[in-house]
Structure 1
Amino acid sequence: MKITLLPGDGIGPEIVDAAVCVLKAVGIKKQIEFKFEKHLIGGAAIDATSVPLPEATITAALAADAVLLGAVGGPKWDACDPTLRPEKGLLAIRKALGLYCNLRPIRVSPFVAHLSPVKTERVEGVDLLIVRELTGGIYFGAHNEARINDDGVEEASDVELYTRPEVERIAEFALQAAHKRKGKVTSVDKANVLASSRMWRKIVEEKRAADYNSVNLEHLYVDNCAMQLVLNPKQFDVILTNNIFGDILSDEASVIAGSIGMLPSASLGDGTGMYEPIHGSAPDIAGQGIANPLGTILSAAMLLRYSLHNEEA
């Protein structure tokens, strides 16, 4: 199995190395031959090549069975041109690999429930999955940087755009996941004010009615969902939402588990999958040997599950 490693920035290299050690141990025990190859992304790529995602990295990722990513970004590159920020490398690799589905499992066992800032009785036993659309929406719509308009007022804009196929395929993934779990999907939108959300809601309902009648479907506005995640997180099974809402809600949900540093994610499409912890690059602790690699190790477990199809992982 060929795995492209993208250590990235900050603590990225050290947490990826820790996950590789675990994968090597699994390989020995399960007689799996792993081949690891490191490539540049993010700030490290900017420093070496002047771009956040070199062509060599894209080529290696496309040729791999899976990609394991550390983290990208840091204050060092804050002054970069907006089109050349480290985070642009992350968006570009997702697009290049066609990774339209991001999975973020949130599980709270009795052993770690006390670490959550939310009351133990509210979070103990939480087991939910956030399914986030990853390659559409406002992050990939047209961006107009700040300018002075005809009235002499400074303005900037970002466009939220979704197509029917984009919504259909992410809805399919969420409904299928719920069918294998507890049978409930909560679709999160802002249909009371956004046209894109009204289309999203309509398509999700059509997909459920056509193919997944046994799955219970409910809709929540994103502001209500943010509140419910704190008030009663146990009510959720699968949360389906768009790119920007999923980005925010998954970080909020991570706090339920006690630490964003302990949670994994998988980004999937029709080909090579990419796996990464959901925390940032934490440059303030890089190189000190104190970064928690658990999120990356659990991401490696998701790699085994979804790219190697090993359910034991």
Structure 2
Amino acid sequence: MGRNKKESFENVLFTIPSIIMVTITIYIPFIMSGFYSLTEWNGISKEPRFIGLENFKTLFSGSSEFVKSLIFTGKYTVLFMIFSNVLAIAVAVALVQKIKTANIMRGMFFIPYIMSMTIVGFIWKFIFSQGFATLFEKTGMEFLNWSWLGERNLAFFAVVFVGVWQSLGFYIVLYIAGLQAVPKDVLEAATVDGATSWKRFFRVTLPLLGPSITTCVFMSLTNAVKVFDIILALTKGGPGGSTYSATLDIYREAFQNNNYGLGSAKSLVFFVIVLVITQVVLKVMNSREVDL
């Protein structure tokens, strides 16, 4: 009993610093944001002015840019999730084959993920603006002469492309781990039963990848809804505010416009939306997993 009490005391003692840090960095700022969302405050004056729910009414008024940023974030999230997971599965299936350069190719795909998203954004900004222009002069391919960051629709797809390119290697690694965990005897049994390679993949391998798919879909969802760095480096929300994500809009409202009250209200609304969506997606994906 004495030893158990000592171990319990040590466990509590070692977790107290973590609890204190999480409380200071997450819970207290979250509560303060809830308070500031009910006020009008520029971040400088000593006393925030209480205005009730006026900030939340402003958010969903016709003149609010926040709704537009939510729509952009939603479209970006859908495309990011689809392309990231579909391409990652396709590449992972290719890389688990007996290829001599498979390990080298895995490393090449993973390198962009370990790079800073801001650096990746600046690199691709240079490629879209100057690299494509040089290639157009040498090849004459018309799409290289398009204004990828200067037109609304093209800028959106450019941001999606860079986001998928940067994070693809991470999802490939997760899917490779899932593919290697698929029991070989199950695949061999399917082959004996006469299943073709396509049927083995869609009827056996893909259902057994359920846990990996759930993890990758959930992580791609959370990474997409909080997109910030790449857009800031690539377009800064342009052209004409067409690529403002929700996080970039919150940052602009609070730290550029010095409207901490409205910025806090936007962050709370965005938090609730993300919480609901992630829980629904996670529940749906978990219900579709197949147990072996």
TM-score relative to the length of structure 2: 0.26
Bigger strand fraction: 1
Larger radius of gyration, structure 1 or 2? 2
Specify which structure has the bigger relative contact order, considering alpha-carbon pairs within 8 angstroms and separated by 6 or more residues. Answer: 2
TM-score relative to the length of structure 1: 0.25
Bigger helix fraction: 2
